[in-house]
Structure 1
């Protein structure tokens, strides 16, 4: 008789959601700190943006190595270590007085820690624990980034306004520290640890082989294998544009851009939080759609609509807060809706057993794009006194990406469901 108990995969997904939620709070903090740091230390917008750029770059580069480490040492141990590093790095930032300390703590330490608790974590958990509902679960986990903004941004902006930016750092450090015992007590690595099969896995299916090779070597081998695949270049290239048009640009610079136009910082943070509300529903719906529709066409629509919204953004400031509200709804629904179909296409291209590490490299391209946008937009603002050029360039890149994704999987007439996974040696 089939058990009616809740499958433990849903508990693992819930813990992963909370971890990603806490990490989203940490990663949204620089947008709140940028103006206060500029005012107190008289650091330029470009200098502060350089620390954010390092953070975003390491956040992405850690992904494939984090996936290999999770395969080798387990998801739970890796998550506990990462959360501890994040809490330490953020807690030390109130003591900084020089730009290099900002780059070291927020760029290197926090960037490395959050890189482990990134989208690759969600992809690895989904691959291990779910056979059915993968798209939906990935959509929900991805939406935790938006929910993190919804929960943290207005609160952190209010703290910065009322108590100073140091209170913001201590708050997010405390949230990360609280998650450490939760993960240690309730997280599990694989269904087999509890004598279970992945959710929806048919009886008699052979369990995946545990990879015991060197994590660094496996990550590099995965990158080499990816370089030989046209689909990898298309997925990584489009995801580069995704990063350049989301957390690298809007997530980092929308609040400072609002301040430039006379909109208070707290109001700008509330605008990002509102975008988070719409993105939660948009990304969850995207996960549901990715289980049912051609993921290439979904991505084409997402990038095209995002590009149009970014081209509209410079003009929305002239329409006062009402214009920004229109942008928030339109852009918010599409913020990170690209993740579920990208993960689905990566799974088809590289196989379930390799999706974590390959998506890690694709995610690295995402953060590379975000890093360029974070620094480049700050540099353009410093040199030209405006973000208009940065918004227009990003919008044009999105329109180009909407065409690029249509070619994913079109090898010898095969459709996206007929791709053959590549082999990645462990050593």
Structure 2
């Protein structure tokens, strides 16, 4: 029988959130770093942009595909152990990156190993932790953890771009490794898997309950969860909008904005500063989105987020031609809702499919997001090679977002949503 939590002034869950925030921050820096690398690799190895974009596309796809399986691995082996293991793998892959000389090595180190490891340290981790530790303020916590990706760009991209420009891209890689080595003991010592580990209940409840043991096959269970979730119309609508979300964010802007700025002779450090500015405003916008998702209909939030993002992308080619002031305006408006879609999407997932299965179901929805991102990362690179500019990919993504805004309104209300996954 569960115990009743005694009154406590300090809740350890906030320490866990801080650790996960820092981990996601560094993971986000690794994920966006290839956009800084692209021009350097073109010059040093004479690789064309479509080839580099293809490797980034593989990384993005695997980043998403590992999500539901990482959720089951965290349930089986514990969150802390999976975080430490993933960080060690990243240190290994990053350590060998400066030695690469062939495309296949880039594919292996960044596309495959890097994609799988960073995929474990991604939004599924944040959603899983938020669902375990919080009932009250859950939307706000998801928004805060999602915003850590933006903060990673804010802190790291200008620094990495500056290091790349002044002393070479290899030293930028060493900087990321140093950040991981600093964070590794923090995770190993202070991270906890569940409120029960510290004798606490999830915030917003009073009962201290031991977590249910993971039952089932580590790799088969996520597939069975997917099969059950696919019977829900809500799942398809969430996955569809998230596909278009990925298509218009990290796959397109996260990968190609810096190279697109290079086409207009905008220095790489200044272009990275634009992404950092987006990160600053997304930190505000996504955290606010989490707060709003606790209070308003998530479908209408998604409608406005996708609609405004679409208008800003249609404006982007004009901004690139006009100069830095117009690009700054774009960065502010686009940044405010770059990944603000995550908290309402995660909340709809949790409310529809239940807290226990939310991590794995959201993991599959994230697969759709990364499939869209992978499509845009490669497709925009190919179109840039064929057409000589990014105008058509940017405008097309804008109209795709307007379509996603309409789809969001078709998501069923929570009272009418499909039954939770059994």
TM-score (norm 1): 0.96
Are 1:349 and 2:352 an aligned pair? yes
- For 1:342 and 1:123, the matched residues in 2 are separated by 11
Are 1:398 and 2:401 an aligned pair? yes
- For 2:209 and 2:59, the matched residues in 1 are separated by 40
Correspondence for 2:301 among 298, 318, 323: 298
CA-based RMSD: 1.3
In structure 1, the residue matched to 2:414 is 416
Other structure's SS at 2:9 match: coil
- For 2:198 and 2:152, the matched residues in 1 are separated by 30
Are 1:183 and 2:187 an aligned pair? yes
* Aligned partners of 1:313 and 1:391 also within 8 Å: yes
Query: Following TM superposition, where does structure 1 have runs of at least 4 consecutive aligned residues deviating by more than 3 angstroms?
Result: 1-4, 205-208, 417-421
Matches within 5 A, 1:1-400: 3-203=7-207, 209-400=212-403
Q: Cα gap change, 1:171/1:241 in structure 2, threshold over 3 Å: closer, same or farther?
A: same
- In the TM superposition, what whole-angstrom CA distance separates every residue of 1:151-196 from its partner, at most 9, and x where no partner exists? 0000000000011111111111221232221111011111111221
Which stretch shows the higher mean deviation, 72-81 or 211-220?
Answer: 211-220
Instruction: Report the Cα offset of residue 202 of structure 1.
Output: 3.5
Other structure's SS at 1:199 match: coil
* Aligned partners of 1:72 and 1:213 also within 8 Å: no
* Aligned partners of 1:74 and 1:189 also within 8 Å: yes
Unaligned runs of 5+ in 1: 410-414
Other structure's SS at 1:193 match: helix
Aligned residue pair count: 418
- For 1:65 and 1:245, the matched residues in 2 are separated by 25
- For 1:173 and 1:27, the matched residues in 2 are separated by 13
Unaligned runs of 5+ in 2: none
Q: Cα gap change, 1:226/1:420 in structure 2, threshold over 3 Å: closer, same or farther?
A: closer
Instruction: Report the Cα offset of residue 206 of structure 1.
Output: 5.7
- For 1:6 and 1:24, the matched residues in 2 are separated by 29
* Aligned partners of 1:55 and 1:107 also within 8 Å: yes
Instruction: Report the Cα offset of residue 2 of structure 1.
Output: 5.2
- For 1:269 and 1:70, the matched residues in 2 are separated by 34
* Aligned partners of 2:201 and 2:209 also within 8 Å: no
